[in-house]
Amino acid sequence: MSSHQTSFGELLAMPADELRKDILTQRMLVRKMRLGIHLNKEKDAAKYRREKRALARMLTAQGSAPLTPTPVKKAATKSAKTIVKGLKPKAKSRSIPAPRSSKSEVGAAPKAS
């Protein structure tokens, strides 16, 4: 990706496996460039920005690629009476008990004797 510019349409047309490999190599390149810039070894910050944009373009293409349809299983149809008859009653929800008051609560006023 770094040697030539790839259009978004070309990225969308790429096979998913090849796109994943290109994304991994692009991520490594961007990481190395970022480290090089921070260590003052890399002088071309504009190239770093271009590579970051190329990575973002790849990730966008990967996210917007059409998903392969998964076969949907049809459920056996049952009558409404059978469905309602088979339902189990819901379990009672547990409520959180109120905190117990103790004789020596913090902030309690002392009793007058």
Q: Please indicate whether residue 112 or residue 55 has the higher confidence score (pLDDT).
A: 55
49 within some domain: yes
The predicted pLDDT at position 56 comes to: 93
12 within some domain: yes
pTM value is 0.54
Q: Which two tokens stand for residue 105?
A: 């609560």
pLDDT in tens, 67-95: 555 556 666 565 555 555 656 666 666 77
38 within some domain: yes
82 within some domain: no
Residue span of the structural domain in which 15 resides:
8-63
14 within some domain: yes
Q: What is the mean pLDDT of the chain?
A: 77
35 within some domain: yes
The predicted pLDDT at position 88 comes to: 63
Nearest alpha carbon to residue 9 among 55, 58, 50: 58
pLDDT value at 3 more than 50? no
Query: Number of structural domains, the chain?
Result: 1
Q: Are 51 and 26 in contact (CB under 8 A)?
A: yes
Q: Please indicate whether residue 8 or residue 67 has the higher confidence score (pLDDT).
A: 8
* C-alpha dist (Å) from residue 105 to 7, 31, 98, 109: 70, 57, 15, 9
Contacts of 18 (CB under 8 A, 6+ apart): none
Round to whole Å and give the CA distance between 30 and 51.
6
